[in-house]
Amino acid sequence: MPALRGLAALTGWLGRYAWSAWAGVAGLFCLAAAWQAGHEFYGSFILPSPLETLAALSALIREPSFAIAARETAERSLIGFALAVTIGTGAGALAGYSFAAMRLMRPIVTVILGVPPIAWVVLALIWFGSSGGSAIMTVVVAAMPISFAGGLEGVATRDRALDAMARSFGASIWLRFRTVTVPHLISYLFPAWTTTAGTAWKVTVMAELLSNSGGIGGELATARALFDVPLVMALIVAVVTFALATEYVLLQPLRDRLERWREAGLPWGVKR
């Protein structure tokens, strides 16, 4: 019986989630309309129309080389994302607990943030050569500070009154971390993680393009050399689709699951 109720709740949530996609799709179609207008003004060579791009994209997907390239890029950005999130969040949370660590780490993060990703690509190219490693390193270095800031702010702004309440009941550090700090931290981490995920895709493609190490970035370099503008646009659309999928298939459902309590407080009409 509880399993049945759980299934019903899941179906309801899926329905609401899919329904909320309409608004997103409408926004995307507005963008497509502006794109079409630009195309009609500048012509196919400068800006291919959305339809031409879609045709190029469907041709691209059918090529076996694209699947390999996409897998390469996906692996690199996923590894980079995972490393950036783990290191960044961990170090940020630690810094949030210790003011000394915070004072030490903040300027370091500012420096890392100040170095343009393109400079990291050059460095990574020298250190790792023309391999996937340079793309991964660039992603980690470029995306880590955001997770760091999220972890830091989340822990530093935890509710000390709730922590005192938990201590008055004799809750252990571990229980307090799980029940008081983490749920609060999550609301800071999700915006940071979605930004990190977006950065991971972008920076991977950039690093691949510059270091000539295959993947979608490599395909993009080839398309540029051939002046195949529809193919360039198709590749861009593909990367954006991957980034959107990461956010709306992976991260948002996870957030909904973890932050159900927040939805409970919203008035009718604001809920999605």
Partner 1 sequence: MKLRLEGIGHAFLGRPVFERLDLTLDVGEVVALLGPSGCGKTTVLQIAVGLIDPLQGRVHRAYRRHAMVFQEPRLLPWMTARDNIAYGLRAVGVTRAQGEAAAVRRAEEVGLHPRDLDKYPIELSGGMRQRAAVARALAVDPDVMFFDEPFTAVDVGLKRVLQDLVIETAARERFSALFVTHDLAEAVRIAHRLVVLSGDALGLVTSRSIEGQPGARSDRDVFELVERWSRDPAFRELFDGERERAA
Q: Which residues bind partner 1 (CB under 8 A)?
A: 161-162, 164-172, 175, 179-180, 183, 259, 261, 264-265
CB nearer to partner 1: give 32 or 171.
Answer: 171
Task: Give the shortest CB-164-to-partner 1 separation in angstroms.
Answer: 6
CB nearer to partner 1: give 161 or 270.
Answer: 161
CB nearer to partner 1: give 86 or 172.
Answer: 172
Task: Give the shortest CB-83-to-partner 1 separation in angstroms.
Answer: 28
Tokens of 217: 């970035």
CA distance 226 to 56: 14
Task: Give the shortest CB-262-to-partner 1 separation in angstroms.
Answer: 8
Q: How many CB atoms lie within 10 A of CB 135?
A: 34
CA distance 177 to 117: 34
CA distance 219 to 232: 9
Q: Within its chain, how far is the Cα of 114 from the centroid?
A: 20
Task: Give the shortest CB-12-to-partner 1 separation in angstroms.
Answer: 16
CB nearer to partner 1: give 126 or 168.
Answer: 168
CB nearer to partner 1: give 22 or 174.
Answer: 174
Nearest to 224 by CA among 245, 210, 243, 207: 210
Task: Give the shortest CB-170-to-partner 1 separation in angstroms.
Answer: 5
CB nearer to partner 1: give 169 or 227.
Answer: 169
Tokens of 125: 């190219």
Q: What are phi and psi of 46, to 5 degrees?
A: -75, -50
**Residue 57 CB-density burial (10 A; 0-12 exposed, 13-18 middle, 19+ buried):** buried
214: DSSP letter = S
Task: Give the shortest CB-4-to-partner 1 separation in angstroms.
Answer: 17
CB nearer to partner 1: give 114 or 265.
Answer: 265
Task: Give the shortest CB-246-to-partner 1 separation in angstroms.
Answer: 25
Count Cβ neighbours within 10 Å for each residue of 26-41 and write b for 16 or more, e otherwise: eeeeeeeeebeeebee
3-class SS of residue 145: helix
CA distance 96 to 255: 22
